[in-house]
């Protein structure tokens, strides 16, 4: 049997071909006098292939009943199109209805709201917008690996189930096989997790960083790219409970080197978004965000601004602007502050560094001022924080003090302390939120619309 070709291959043909087989889902069908037009899409590209099914087909009466959403396999001649809007069309010699549809098919030609489409997350990839978003997601995922591979980084699979709370924020999902109705108890009456599956409390990972540090202290330059989980009750357009993060970690690297890599990485992904998949990009620019292309170009052309946290707070205070959350030295920057800095003050991406130690996790390196740590966040217009990273505390005594200061138990971080005991090195890394990057690259404004099946507080349908 002849091997099928994709719609993309068909549309990119340079000459007519006989016996072409195309398989996909019918977007629309309409009848003319002696034939029926089918628009077929297989997700290989944004565009549909027009199929002309003549009334001479043996099953023409069935073809005339094909409904939007049905799957078909079509064999025929790929010929130059007489009609407008496409170079090639498929003149059918055989139309096989692989799977029928019916009138309840939820995706119709009229526009649907994002909220409605989230309710049919299993069908929405068949829409133009979501097809484009998820092709972009795949393209950028591939570009992530290429970026690090070209720079000699080793790809590390960090564990999904872990005993450590990397961010120390206690926002973890517990992993257990204990019966919630009758868990084993300690003599003191609390749940006895030593009887649990792993003989200890375990959680879904919030970050692969700690494990990446162990591997960086052996393979020098590593990165992770995997799912991470946060049981954080944030119902915003930028927070998901399950999201993908890319975390490079480099031995013999300081904060400046870390900021340089983050900037290079963000730009490389934007360059990829800007150059690959022209049709998809055009769709985003036309229907999602009219400023998209200008913004992507703007980011590529300029160096990111760098300001210390102290300077950033001063800029916010001196702006005279009233924020919903008041700003003062020592408070966390909220999304409104981040966006003000990047959208109004600098009008370009900004890397903010050296945050007060009180508002950052235990692993960040203490600066000589003993007040700030070597944290850095990259903020971008429209979103705010897209990257969070730091140089890590490599001095065993300072690290132990920091763990205690954060109310954590050094005994829980035994293996992590060992990395400082044997062959410690200055090292640094960061995490890029893959969905936030996709929001930036597509202009899609809600994180629920750039992840295949979103998990957010109160929602794990599908």
- Given Mg ion, ligand 4AD, none, residue 76, with its beta carbon under 5 to 8 Å by kind, binds none
Picked from Mg ion, ligand 4AD, none, the partner binding residue 209 (CB below 5 to 8 A depending on kind) is ligand 4AD
**The one among 389, 394, 403, 438 contacting ligand 4AD by CB under 6 A:** 389
Touching ligand 4AD, residues 194-223 (CB under 6 A):
207, 209
Q: How far is CA 276 from CA 146, 201, 345, in A?
A: 14, 45, 31
State in angstroms the smallest separation of the CB of 285 from Mg ion: 29
Q: Residue 388 or 443: which CB sits closer to Mg ion?
A: 388
**Interacting residue with ligand 4AD among 107, 144, 261, 387 (CB under 6 A):** 387
For residues 147-166, which are near ligand 4AD according to CB under 6 A?
A: 166
Q: DSSP assignment, residue 415?
A: H
Instruction: Write down the least CB distance from residue 235 to ligand 4AD, Å.
Output: 11
Q: Sign of dihedral through CA atoms 74, 77, 82, 85?
A: positive
Residues between 436 and 455 that touch ligand 4AD (CB under 6 A): 436, 447
Residue 338 binds which entry of Mg ion, ligand 4AD, none, CB below 5-8 Å type-dependent: none
Phi and psi dihedrals of 354, rounded to 5?
Answer: 55, 75
Output 225-231 pairs: Cβ under 8 A, ≥24 positions apart: 225/141, 225/144, 225/145, 225/155, 225/434, 226/157, 226/158, 226/160, 227/160, 228/204, 229/172, 229/173, 229/204, 229/205, 230/171, 230/172, 230/206, 231/171, 231/172, 231/173
Q: Based on CB atoms, which residue is closest to ligand 4AD, 74 or 373?
A: 373
- Rule CB under 5 A: which of 375-414 touch Mg ion? 388
CA distance readout (Å), 288 to 111, 200, 239, 283, 390: 13, 47, 20, 7, 34
Residue whose token pair is 């109004």: 344
Q: Minimum distance from CB of 389 to ligand 4AD (Å)?
A: 4
Q: Which is nearer to Mg ion, 134 or 265 (CB)?
A: 265
DSSP 285: I
Between CA 66 and CA 72 the distance in angstroms is 9
Which CB sits closer to ligand 4AD, 236 or 275? Answer: 236
Residue from 196, 280, 435, 449 in contact with ligand 4AD (CB under 6 A): 435
Q: Which stretch binds ligand 4AD (CB under 6 A): 103-111, 139-147, 310-318, 386-394?
A: 386-394
**If we measure between CA atoms, which residue out of 455, 444, 429, 378 comes closest to residue 137?**
444
Q: Which of residues 218-277 bind ligand 4AD (CB under 6 A)?
A: 230, 232, 239-240, 243, 245, 247
Query: Which one, 52 or 387, has the nearer CB to ligand 4AD?
Result: 387
For residue 135, state whether it binds ligand 4AD (rule: CB under 6 A).
no
Determine, following the binding rule CB under 6 A, whether residue 430 of this chain makes contact with ligand 4AD: yes
CA distance 114 to 401: 48
Separation CA 229–CA 203 (nearest Å): 9
Alpha-carbon gap, residue 66 to 25, rounded angstroms? 10
Closer by beta carbon to ligand 4AD, 124 or else 455: 455
Helix (H) or strand (E) holding 142: helix 128-150
Q: Of residues 385, 393, 394, 449, which one binds ligand 4AD by CB under 6 A? A: 385
How many whole angstroms separate alpha carbon 265 and alpha carbon 271?
Answer: 10
Q: Closest approach of Cβ 247 to ligand 4AD, in Å?
A: 4
Interface residue with ligand 4AD, options 167, 211, 394, 449 (CB under 6 A): 167
* Region binding ligand 4AD by CB under 6 A among candidate stretches 112-120, 175-183, 334-342, 379-387: 379-387
Least Å from the CB of residue 239 to ligand 4AD: 4
Q: What is the rounded distance in angstroms from the CA atom of residue 388 to the CA atom of residue 247? A: 10
Instruction: For helices 414-421 and 396-405, give the axis angle rounded to 10 degrees.
Output: 160
Other CB atoms within 10 A of residue 358 CB: 13
- Residue 386: name its binding partner from Mg ion, ligand 4AD, none (Cβ under 5 to 8 Å by kind): ligand 4AD
List 277, 349, 431, 443, residue binding ligand 4AD (CB under 6 A)? 431
Question: Nearer to ligand 4AD by C-beta: 92 or 240?
Answer: 240
Nearer to ligand 4AD, 243 or 413 (CB): 243
- Among residues 119 and 232, whose Cβ is nearest to ligand 4AD? 232
CA distances from 32 to 72, 233, 243, 455 (A): 20, 55, 48, 45
Task: Give me the helices (H) in 422-461, please.
Answer: 434-442
Q: What is the DSSP string of 328-394?
A: -TTSPPPHHHHHIIIIIISSS-EEEEEEEGGGS-TTBPBPTTSSEEEEEEEEETTTEEEEEEEEB--
Shortest CB 232 distance to ligand 4AD, Å: 6
**Least distance from ligand 4AD to the Cβ atom of residue 38, Å:** 40
Binding site for Mg ion (CB under 5 A): 388
Binding site for ligand 4AD (CB under 6 A): 166-167, 207, 209, 230, 232, 239-240, 243, 245, 247, 385-390, 429-431, 433, 435-436, 447
């Amino acid at each position: 049997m002849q091997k099928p070709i994709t719609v993309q291959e068909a549309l990119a043909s340079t000459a007519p071909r006989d016996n072409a087989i195309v398989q996909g889902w019918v977007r629309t069908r309409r009848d003319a006098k002696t034939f029926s037009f089918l628009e077929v899409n297989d997700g290989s590209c944004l565009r549909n292939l027009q199929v002309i099914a003549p009334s001479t087909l043996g099953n023409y009466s069935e073809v005339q009943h094909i409904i939007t959403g049905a799957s078909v396999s079509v064999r025929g001649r790929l010929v130059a199109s007489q009609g407008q809007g496409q170079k090639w069309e498929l003149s059918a010699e055989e139309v096989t209805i692989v799977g029928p549809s019916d009138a309840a098919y939820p995706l119709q030609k009229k526009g649907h709201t994002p909220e409605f489409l989230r309710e049919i997350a299993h069908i929405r990839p068949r829409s133009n917008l979501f097809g484009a978003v998820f092709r972009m997601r795949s393209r950028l995922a591939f570009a992530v690996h290429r970026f690090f591979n070209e720079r000699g980084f080793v790809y590390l699979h960090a564990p999904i189930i872990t005993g450590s709370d990397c961010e120390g924020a206690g926002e973890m999902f517990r992993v257990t096989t204990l019966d919630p109705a009758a868990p084993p108890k300690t003599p003191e009456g609390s749940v006895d997790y030593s009887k649990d599956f792993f003989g200890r409390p375990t959680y879904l990972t919030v970050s692969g960083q700690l494990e990446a540090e162990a591997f960086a202290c052996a393979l020098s330059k590593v990165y992770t790219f995997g799912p991470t989980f946060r049981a954080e009750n944030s119902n915003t357009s930028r927070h998901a409970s399950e999201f993908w993060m890319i975390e490079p970690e480099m031995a013999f690297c300081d904060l400046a080197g870390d900021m340089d890599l983050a900037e290079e990485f963000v730009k490389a992904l934007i360059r990829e978004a800007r150059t690959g998949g022209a049709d998809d990009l055009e769709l985003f620019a036309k229907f999602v965000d009219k400023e998209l292309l200008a913004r992507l170009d703007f980011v590529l052309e300029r160096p990111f601004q760098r300001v210390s946290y102290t300077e950033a707070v001063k800029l916010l205070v001196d702006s005279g602007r009233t924020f919903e959350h008041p700003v003062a030295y020592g408070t966390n920057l909220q999304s409104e502050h981040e966006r003000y800095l990047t959208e109004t003050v600098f009008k370009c991406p900004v890397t903010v560094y050296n945050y007060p130690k009180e508002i950052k996790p235990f692993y960040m390196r203490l600066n000589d001022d003993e007040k700030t740590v070597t944290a850095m966040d990259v903020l971008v217009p429209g979103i705010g924080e897209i990257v969070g990273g730091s140089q890590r505390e490599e001095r065993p005594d300072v690290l132990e003090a920091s763990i205690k200061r954060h109310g954590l138990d050094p005994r829980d971080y035994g293996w992590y302390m060992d990395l400082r005991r044997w062959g410690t090195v200055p090292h640094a890394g960061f995490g890029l939120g893959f969905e936030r990057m996709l929001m930036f690259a597509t202009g899609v404004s809600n994180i629920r619309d750039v992840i295949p099946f979103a998990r957010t507080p109160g929602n794990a349908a599908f």
